[in-house]
Amino acid sequence: MAGTDNTDSGAIAMRRVAISIVIFFVLAGLLFLLGPDDFYPWAKAIHVIAVISWMAGMLYLPRLLVYHADAERGSVQSETFKVMERRLLRSIINPAMVITWVFGLWLAWKGFGFQGGWLHAKIAAVLCLSAVHGYLAGAVRKFSEDRNEKAARHWRIVNEIPTLLMIVIVVLVIVKPF
């Protein structure tokens, strides 16, 4: 029955996330309708908030995988990690990535007409970050089916990639070196 309870609370959590996302986009739409000319800084603020949430998850998830790789299969610890990883991915990382992309692309179109070497390089770096996101999502699925074959050391190395990409992305957008 514990499994059923877990599934139920997971479904409730997902419904809450879905409702929050709908409310969020309705509020953003209202802000836009109330003042389309003033919307750019609001969109930038929303973009940066989403970026912080996405990055928080992208830095924490591989750290969980490091510990999970060392936990015994079927142990209470391992099952707890599965729930933590799934919830982190579905309720924070996935929605934050979607919001980052939606508002980032809008800013790129509205503010820069998709022009600029720094912007093209930034989009390329964000595509790499999204690929790491996809890789981590696949890892969460494998861990949830007890099919992980990689050692903790592998996840420790993966843990560094989002940090490096984040540094590149932030320097590109703030310094705009080319």
Interface ranges with ligand HEM (CB under 6 A): 44, 47-48, 51, 55, 100-101, 104-105, 107-108, 111-112, 122-123, 126, 129, 166, 169-170, 173-174
Q: Which is nearer to ligand HEM, 84 or 171 (CB)?
A: 171
Task: Please report how close the Cβ of residue 59 comes to ligand HEM at its closest, in angstroms.
Answer: 11
- Counting every residue written for the chain, the total comes to 178
Distance of CA 43 to the CA centre of its chain: 18
Task: Please report how close the Cβ of residue 107 comes to ligand HEM at its closest, in angstroms.
Answer: 4
* 73: three-class secondary structure by DSSP: coil
Task: Please report how close the Cβ of residue 153 comes to ligand HEM at its closest, in angstroms.
Answer: 25
Q: Which is nearer to ligand HEM, 14 or 108 (CB)?
A: 108
| CB closest to ligand HEM, residue no | 104
Task: Please report how close the Cβ of residue 96 comes to ligand HEM at its closest, in angstroms.
Answer: 10
Six token digits for residue 89? 């991915």
Q: Which is nearer to ligand HEM, 121 or 123 (CB)?
A: 123
Please give the torsion angle defined by the CA atoms of residues 159, 133, 104 and 167, in that order, rounded to the nearest 10 degrees. Answer: 20
Q: Which is nearer to ligand HEM, 65 or 126 (CB)?
A: 126
| Dihedral of alpha carbons 19, 49, 51, 58, sign | negative
- The one-letter amino acid code at 59 reads L
Backbone angles phi, psi at 74, to 5 degrees: 85, -10
